[in-house]
Structure 1
Amino acid sequence: MSKTRNKIVSSLPVTAFLGFTLFVFGPSYIYFTNVLEFSYTYSEIFRFLALFFLTTVIFFTLILSTLKDSLFEKGVSVLFAVSFLLWVQGSVLLWDYGPLDGRLIKWEDFRYYGYIDSIFWLGCLFFALYKSKVVCRFASKLSIALILTQLITISIAYHNAPKPSFKGYVFDDSAKFTFSKKRNVIILVLDAFQTDVFHEIINEDGKYASYFDGFTYFRNALAGFAKSYAAVPFILTGQYYDNSIPIQQFIKKVYLDASIPKVLKENDFRVDLFPLINHTMYADERVASNIKKKVLKKRAIPKIFDDANKQQAFLFDLTLFRYAPHFLKKFVYNGQSWFLSGLFRAKHNDVLFIEEMISSSNSADDIGVFKYYHLNGAHLPFVLNENLEFERLKPNRNGIRQQAKGMLKLTDLFLKKLRDLGVYDNSLIFIIGDHGGGEYPLGVNVQASGYEENTVSPSIHVRIRGAGLPMFLVKPFHSKGKLKISDAPVSLGDIAKTIASELNMEQDFPGRSVFDIREGENRNRRFLFYDFEDDWNHKYLPAMQEYLISGFSWLAESWKAGRQFKPNEKRPERK
């Protein structure tokens, strides 16, 4: 009995090191350094981390305590080696595979990472087996020291993590598809849907244009920003972010000062927001009707296994990806589907959106209704074909076009359902990309517009231009007829002003109503381009390059570089 107790005492720090590294430190560090990516609070996930940690410790401690002395020594040594290897892999051997945003990883380009990992892992395991007495002698003390090191690291990460408002709220979807028989204002965002892709599609097949009865296609449109983080507040407020204050502080200010959601709510509209990315919104009950304070409920079954909360499984996928040696990462990534969270994804979220809309939408004799829906649209991963069927598409223009066609079919189903409900005519509808697809190998097909590119060697890279060219379609109240095409120089920042104008509200938003802007008008517009260097968790955005556009937005000759807006913070050097 005394010998068993001694085995438990000596092995406990080692099993705790394994459990802590894999189920506490790993997920916690990823969470706090990417806190804006997750909709849930740390307290919601911590109990599951604690459960997995304790299960791991108890399981391996019991196994080790039953081993014979010679095997016990080797068991402790090997377990410590595995724990140490996991820690080194996740803390030191951090290979750069590019953004894990759904794009394919060319594993063959990184095979040398695998050689390094394999040599290191095999060498450490070999040493642990053949020098087990030496390793076992120091394993407990080293385990405690490394656990303390991890605790300090987590504490620093927690202290530096942003504290966004949306963590304490939920976006209630109980009235997600309830529309007003009186009047509706609807913004449907198809993320990264580039305007020349839309033009190319309707040129080739007129059926796609026929979906948009009463709409005007503003093909000479311009985005405000290259990515959703700043683009969404720009759409809903018309305000440009300039890196002079932290972006979450800016988001709070502009949503509470004068945003379309807040102003409409103050004017007795029901305002429902359904963002793709929560931290693009300021979650506050003054801003929207469906923002509710989060109430944590006790659950008999861990939430991690609930199909409604895939993000928690995704956190563990990221942990496994970070801590696994190179040749195992491929199986964790699972061809963009991920090892654990992929088990929950029976259907694409955009397909689930339209199925729910068709099956559960309704109308009510109600006050005016504002809906903001943000879908994945033409953004990575490219896994939906033109029939809204799952298909892994190549990340090139043809693959993007196929997914874009699928999104247009989805939009057609959405609009048909509004007609079935009898609310189409009394709705002001915007169907837009929040920006173009500049980060993808897409290019800009200027010829689709009938224009010719006059600049032989454009000084503005086509990727930058593409990012600034969103699809932009608008249907005013009671508008009918075939899709019109306008070359009026509009911007996504005009949406707030357009809504106020169409509702005869006197709220002074930036920009102009798109219906007041004439074709051929000489109007200067702004676009700010930036790339995420590493993550979204800095207080400021990376340095943003301003471009001034005068003329047709697709043409390089219309673009001129302006000022640069650098973040008011010191950023760490990239590794």
Structure 2
Amino acid sequence: MKKRDKKQLLPGIVVAAAISFLVFLYAPVDLYCSNISEFWFDFGILIRASLGLFLISTVVLLLIYIVLWLIHPVLYRIGLAGGFLGLICTYIQGNFLIRNLPPLDGTTIRWEEYTFLRTEDFILWGIGFVVVVLMYIFLKRDLLSKTVMYLSGGLTLMLLITAVSVVFTSGALQEKVHYQYGADEQFVMSEDQNFVILLLDTVDSRTITELLDEHPEYSEVFRDFTYFENTVGAYSCTERSVPYILSGDWYENDEPFDDYGKRVYQESPLFQTLQERGYNMELCDSELYMDTELMHMFSNIHVVDFELSSYTKFAKPLLKLIGFRYAPFELKKMCTFKKAAFAELLQVENTPEETSCSESDHVFKSQLDQQGITVEDSSKKFKFIHLNGAHVPYIYDKDMNIINELDGTYEQSAQATMVGAMDYVEHLRNSEAYDNTVLIVMSDHGYNGSLGQSGEATWMRQCALLLIKGRNEHHDTMQISQAPISFEDLQEAYVRLLDGRRSDEVFDWKEGDARERRFLRYSFLDDDHMQEYIQTGYASDMDTMIPTGREYNR
């Protein structure tokens, strides 16, 4: 004890702080700044929670090092070497071995399909262990402690500079403005004219074609519609697809996405036409970009305050989110959490009495069945309603009863969402608003299998659903068109529908026509990288989806 100097604890302090900084400050800040739009809470809430975890972790690790130091200097040096090994491997794990991680989008993760991650971990930690052991053997005890201290401190300084830069350049410090999308008028129609887009997420036209063959009653419900079976969408995933559906303006990673979102809604030909024609516009899609300038375009959007109900409960999903990216493979399995984990901690303040929209198909159908569709003497109405559709998790059976997601399938969810859409059509048909309503039932993109099953082709989700009924349109049976339609044609189709054209008159393209249709393929796991394809044949023909070689990267 006489030979021990308290200065020997300095490396332990640095390593303890370095590990805590990486895991509890840098990691959550980096995750937040890279996915700002995915979180409802402000940066201030995150940093307060992270600082609390950082302080607790630093104190606990420092106490461990003090105990090791008091027991024996050898144990202390072994602890320093072990801490350094954990620091370096965790840093590499969370920043360089992340491209092949499964998505946290609600999909049930089949870990047996990701065993290669275990192999990566084994190689990383094996090499790291050998390096640290060699350092322990060949570096004298004081030199080992100083080397570990300087390397840990240097890494922490580098991460601190990176984190500060990312915070200021990502817009994370900008206070979020929160909105509630009111639903009180969701089922109220105008006796004049109505234009409704019912968007069902991730519904593939190939699956719907199979359902129509198996269930002739579907065609009866949609008898006044035209089903454009040969339709090619625009993008692989929702975030890019929906703005394009509403604006017709391609996003090519050439500007910040929020800037694009603000611009395209202000300049949307559809919205401009609706406003010019005196339509009252309602929006039920909480994932769309919104700010105080845009909200005035829509009658059902209100500014509210969001508060965190509990920092203690907030720590659990935050730790799991960090662990999912930075922890070794076997620990990652313990770090999955349900999609709504953060949303459940949201506490809405200053809320209007109006009920809020839900993107749940089950809630939408329940509210519709309870309230029915009513008609009032009011201005023309436009409604854009975005439901979860066949998106994961698969929590419905074919009749839209809620089941365990482990028992659900994509096909069941697709059938359930069509049951909900048919319920909406029937309610509308039984109201006085049916004939004066344009109704488009569509999806934002198709579906091409789950991750791990079909590789890159997973994201080739070009087969979008498109069903259209014009005002005063009636058929004896549902029409099926094989015309080569693209989402590029939607803006002109909207205007023609507003002019009173039938569904079979809104596109210039006819069956048998040959054309090239553009599609931008990307993964929401890597949306900074998009590849352009041209469909030269039928929408579902994968052999005629030709890459042009053009990429749009940011």
Shorter-chain TM-score bucket reads 0.7 to 0.9
Structure 1 residues 249, 91: CA separation in 2 closer, same or farther (over 3 Å shift)?
closer
Greater Cα shift, 147-156 or 10-19: 10-19
C-alpha distance in structure 1 between counterparts of 2:471 and 2:163, whole Å: 53
1:43-62 aligned at under 5 Å gives the runs 43-61=44-62
State the shift of 1:360 in Å. Answer: 7.0
C-alpha distance in structure 1 between counterparts of 2:452 and 2:79, whole Å: 53
State the shift of 1:472 in Å. Answer: 1.0
Equivalent in the alignment of 2:351:
none
Alignment of 1:87 with 2:95, yes or no, is no
Structure 1 residues 24, 246: CA separation in 2 closer, same or farther (over 3 Å shift)?
closer
Alignment of 1:372 with 2:375, yes or no, is no
**Conservation of the 8 A alpha-carbon contact between 2:459 and 2:521:** no
Alignment of 1:232 with 2:242, yes or no, is yes
Q: CA RMSD in A?
A: 4.9
State the shift of 1:252 in Å. Answer: 3.7
State the secondary structure of the residue aligned to 2:383.
Answer: strand
**Unpaired segments ≥5 residues, structure 2:** 346-357
State the shift of 1:203 in Å. Answer: 0.8
Alignment of 1:324 with 2:331, yes or no, is no
Equivalent in the alignment of 1:485:
479
Equivalent in the alignment of 1:175:
183
State the secondary structure of the residue aligned to 1:30.
Answer: helix
State the shift of 1:321 in Å. Answer: 1.4
Equivalent in the alignment of 2:355:
none
C-alpha distance in structure 1 between counterparts of 2:283 and 2:95, whole Å: 38
State the secondary structure of the residue aligned to 1:467.
Answer: coil
Alignment of 1:503 with 2:498, yes or no, is yes
Q: Which amino acid aligns with 1:319?
A: I
Equivalent in the alignment of 1:451:
none
State the shift of 1:471 in Å. Answer: 1.4
Cα displacement string for residues 68-101 of structure 1 (whole angstroms, at most 9, x for unaligned residues): 7127964963555544443343235546345555
Aligned length: 526
Give % identity: 21
**Conservation of the 8 A alpha-carbon contact between 1:317 and 1:338:** no
Alignment of 1:272 with 2:276, yes or no, is no
**Conservation of the 8 A alpha-carbon contact between 1:185 and 1:428:** yes
**Conservation of the 8 A alpha-carbon contact between 1:242 and 1:565:** no
Equivalent in the alignment of 1:149:
158
Equivalent in the alignment of 2:533:
545
TM-score (norm 1): 0.73
Structure 1 residues 536, 117: CA separation in 2 closer, same or farther (over 3 Å shift)?
closer
State the shift of 1:234 in Å. Answer: 2.6
Q: Which amino acid aligns with 1:107?
A: Y
C-alpha distance in structure 2 between counterparts of 1:544 and 1:143, whole Å: 43
1:65-464 aligned at under 5 Å gives the runs 69-70=70-71, 74=76, 77=80, 81-94=85-98, 96-97=100-101, 99=103, 101=105, 102=107, 104-105=110-111, 106-117=113-124, 119=126, 141-158=150-167, 161=170, 168-175=176-183, 178-182=186-190, 183-212=193-222, 214-241=224-251, 249-265=259-275, 267-275=277-285, 277-278=287-288, 284-285=294-295, 287-291=297-301, 295=305, 297=307, 299=308, 301-302=310-311, 305=314, 316-333=319-336, 337=338, 349-355=360-366, 358=369, 363=374, 365=376, 366-388=378-400, 389-392=402-405, 399-416=409-426, 418=428, 423-424=433-434, 426-438=436-448
**Conservation of the 8 A alpha-carbon contact between 1:527 and 1:548:** yes
State the secondary structure of the residue aligned to 2:415.
Answer: helix
C-alpha distance in structure 2 between counterparts of 1:353 and 1:122, whole Å: 54
Q: Which amino acid aligns with 1:503?
A: L
Structure 1 residues 42, 353: CA separation in 2 closer, same or farther (over 3 Å shift)?
farther
Cα displacement string for residues 3-51 of structure 1 (whole angstroms, at most 9, x for unaligned residues): 9998997755443323322221111112223344445443342222223
**Conservation of the 8 A alpha-carbon contact between 2:200 and 2:443:** yes
Structure 1 residues 149, 233: CA separation in 2 closer, same or farther (over 3 Å shift)?
same
C-alpha distance in structure 1 between counterparts of 2:433 and 2:100, whole Å: 49
Greater Cα shift, 317-326 or 14-23: 14-23
Structure 1 residues 519, 263: CA separation in 2 closer, same or farther (over 3 Å shift)?
closer
State the shift of 1:374 in Å. Answer: 2.5
Equivalent in the alignment of 1:448:
none
State the secondary structure of the residue aligned to 1:477.
Answer: coil
C-alpha distance in structure 2 between counterparts of 1:468 and 1:127, whole Å: 53
C-alpha distance in structure 2 between counterparts of 1:22 and 1:231, whole Å: 34
State the shift of 1:432 in Å. Answer: 0.8
C-alpha distance in structure 2 between counterparts of 1:123 and 1:324, whole Å: 20
State the shift of 1:415 in Å. Answer: 4.0
Q: Which amino acid aligns with 2:519?
A: F
C-alpha distance in structure 2 between counterparts of 1:358 and 1:325, whole Å: 48
TM-score (norm 2): 0.75
Equivalent in the alignment of 1:28:
29
Cα displacement string for residues 541-571 of structure 1 (whole angstroms, at most 9, x for unaligned residues): 523133355xx645679x585965443x6x6
State the shift of 1:173 in Å. Answer: 2.0
State the secondary structure of the residue aligned to 1:412.
Answer: helix
State the shift of 1:484 in Å. Answer: 1.0
State the shift of 1:338 in Å. Answer: 7.7
**Conservation of the 8 A alpha-carbon contact between 1:213 and 1:480:** yes
